[in-house]
A = this chain, B = another copy of it.
Amino acid sequence: MYHLTALVTLLAIAFYFFTAVNVSRSRTKTGVKVPAMSGHPDFERAFRIQMNTLEWMPIFLPALWLFAVYISDAIAAGIGVVWIIGRIVYFVGYSKAAAKRGTGFAIQSLAAIALWVGALGAVTLRLV
């Protein structure tokens, strides 16, 4: 079983859910009514944070699980925690200004790419 990877998956989902709740809160603060998705820079940044997190979910989650299955539950979960931390740094930075989104984005990118490269290497070794 992959208990640690399962736990990290649930925590990643929870953080992603929080970015979505934050978009709703931003609607109230900025007065951008549904179904509009633009109209105030603060709202647009909150929305982009959620969207970017959503956009990385189909990269992060499959790479996380393939890494866990082919290499190690504990290492996958450890890198998964780094991904979540990168996402939090991205959230805090991008919430302040678009220019401050780089550090968190880089951390989460490197974590996701590490999971992908590790999984690809391990899968390829089994096939050759």
Interface positions of A (Cβ within 8 A of B): 1, 3-4, 6-7, 9-10, 13-14, 16-17, 20, 33-38, 41, 44-45, 47-48, 50, 54-55, 57-59, 61-63, 66, 69-70, 98, 101, 116, 119-120, 123-124, 126-127
* Known pairs A37-B37, A61-B62 / 20 extra A-B pairs, C-beta < 8 Å: A3-B126, A6-B66, A6-B119, A6-B123, A7-B127, A9-B66, A10-B62, A10-B66, A10-B119, A10-B120, A10-B123, A16-B58, A34-B48, A35-B44, A35-B45, A50-B55, A54-B54, A54-B58, A57-B58, A58-B61
The quantity of this chain's copies bound in the complex is 3
Chain B nearest CB, measured from A93 CB (Å):
12
Query: What residues of chain B lie closer than 8 Å to A34, measured between beta carbons?
Result: 48, 98, 101
**A116-B13 contact given A48-B34, A127-B4, A127-B7, CB 8 Å threshold:** yes
